[in-house]
Amino acid sequence: MSAKTIMIQGATSDAGKSALATGLCRLLARRGVRVAPFKPQNMALNSAVTADGGEIGRSQAVQALACRVEPHTDMNPVLLKPNSHTGSQVIIQGRAIGNMEARGYHGYKPVAMKAVLESHARLAEQYQCIVAEGAGSPAEINLRDGDIANMGFAEAVDCPVILVADIERGGVFAHLAGTLALLSESERARVVGLVINRFRGDPSLLKTGVDWLEQYTGKPVLGVLPYLHDLHLEAEDSMGLDKPGGARAEGDKLRVAAPAAPRVSNHTDFDPLRLHPQVEFTLVRAGQPIPPADLIVLPGSKNVLADLAWLRAQGWEEAIRRHLRYGGKVLGICGGLQMLGRKLHDPDGLEGEPGSGDGLGWLDMETTLAPEKRLTRMRGRLTLGDAEAAGYEIHMGVSAGPALDKPAVRFDDGSADGARSADDQIFATYLHGVFDEPAACQAILRWAGLAEPEALDYPALREANIDKLADMLEKHLNLEPIAAWLPGGAISV
């Protein structure tokens, strides 16, 4: 095989690239096309472990599910995980190669591009079609030199581009027309169509604007996609702090609070809690009061010592101490587990300046950051109610101490993970996705104080939302340009 590639780029960040790519992946898979997702370069703190034991952006893992194939490191060959305001951990084809400041990474881009093209070539030999997703906007003038994320990649593999803009943000015609105006002549030529995303109301009211846009740009508008209410897809990076956190307090609901620390990672762990009908979930940002809660969740972090200092500055240490004194429960995931120990050591400066710091001290253990990152998928059972659990580990910390003698999870391979405090008020694990399995989520909510928790089948809910996206594209997206581009008439319109 030698796959055809089509790329989704956005006029702005959060224009709907990931959603459009995910829906298109499922639409093609349902029609029998062997399709794979691809994102040349992703900057995100939400990641997933692949079948080949590497790390990619969470959105590409979800897109692989939409394609009904296993996630692979070639689907996101460059992943940047910010650990400071100016630097990131750089992950190439699933493996961390070290930290780089922005200027240093700019000089490294030719090497990164080589990895991008190698990964794309391997996928092209295995699939009929590759749905690629850009990053940010292709019209970022300061990033054009050496670009590997948008038009630099599209030009290198000679693929067509669909440009999408979000009408919810306002200025949708300026976003699309302005982006095209800032592209080079060859880049502009490869844009095969425009998409207006998240439109509310009667689309006929937009017709004069669409007609003008097509005449002004010379590009067809392939679709005006409606705003989908109650659509949930795992976020690439945004925590959605401007959106409601979950079900509001109404009747007998479990109150769950989590801090939105600056380097919080894999906050998609919270998604089943956001969606659970018996949970009132609150993500607490800087400067907000910490609300009363039955359960406090400390999430993962890409810079544990720095995020722990932030928690203390925001008053979380005293709030957790008071919460525990009155019988509340605390759950730590990955970096949150490490924070709950007595000491944290980063002798090599893997997440910032070399050094050590005091943890919160509620678990008798210490963690030392080591260069080798643990990347693995695991299945087992919680020690809470012997509930089935599954997820993935992504961490550089090695924890040791008596607290680990009472683990949180026992895995099928005979190993154990995490810790439970002697008074059973603290449950901590390295396992991301611990709420995804219905039985595990129920067991944790019951432990936290919910008498009769309902089963939330999060994987089934995710599948239903992917299908909902594909159904919408079937109805509102003009597939003719895609049909003409696919080999062998795989799509008929």
Which residues are part of the catalytic machinery?
Answer: 334, 432
Contact assessment for residue 160 and residue 124, using Cβ atoms and an 8 Å cutoff: no
**Residue 186: C-alpha distances to residues 17, 109, 158, 190, 490 (Å):** 22, 22, 10, 7, 28
**Residue 86: C-alpha distances to residues 8, 25, 99, 102, 165 (Å):** 27, 34, 11, 6, 28
Q: Which residues contact 464 (CB under 8 A, 6 or more apart)?
A: none
Q: Which residues contact 339 (CB under 8 A, 6 or more apart)?
A: 298, 301, 304, 307, 308, 311, 332, 359, 360
Alpha-carbon torsion 186, 190, 193, 197, what sign? negative
315 dihedral zone (left: phi>0; alpha: psi -120 to 50; beta) = left
Strand, coil or helix: 322: helix
Alpha-carbon torsion 356, 360, 365, 368, what sign? negative
Alpha-carbon torsion 395, 398, 404, 407, what sign? positive
Alpha-carbon torsion 25, 226, 273, 332, what sign? positive
How far is the C-alpha of 483 from the C-alpha of 490, rounded, in Å?
Answer: 7
Unique residue bearing structure tokens 């669909």: 162
Fill in the amino acid letter for 251.
G
Six-digit token string for 363: 């678990």
How far is the C-alpha of 197 from the C-alpha of 24, rounded, in Å?
Answer: 14
What angle is formed at CA 239 by the lines to CA 236 and CA 240, rounded to 5 degrees? 110
Fill in the amino acid letter for 474.
E
How far is the C-alpha of 107 from the C-alpha of 146, rounded, in Å?
Answer: 9
How far is the C-alpha of 258 from the C-alpha of 299, rounded, in Å?
Answer: 7
Strand, coil or helix: 315: coil
Question: What single string gives the DSSP state of each residue in 195-261?
Answer: EEEEE-S-GGGGHHHHHHHHHHHS--EEEEEEP-TT-----SS---TTS--SSPP-SS-EEEEEE--
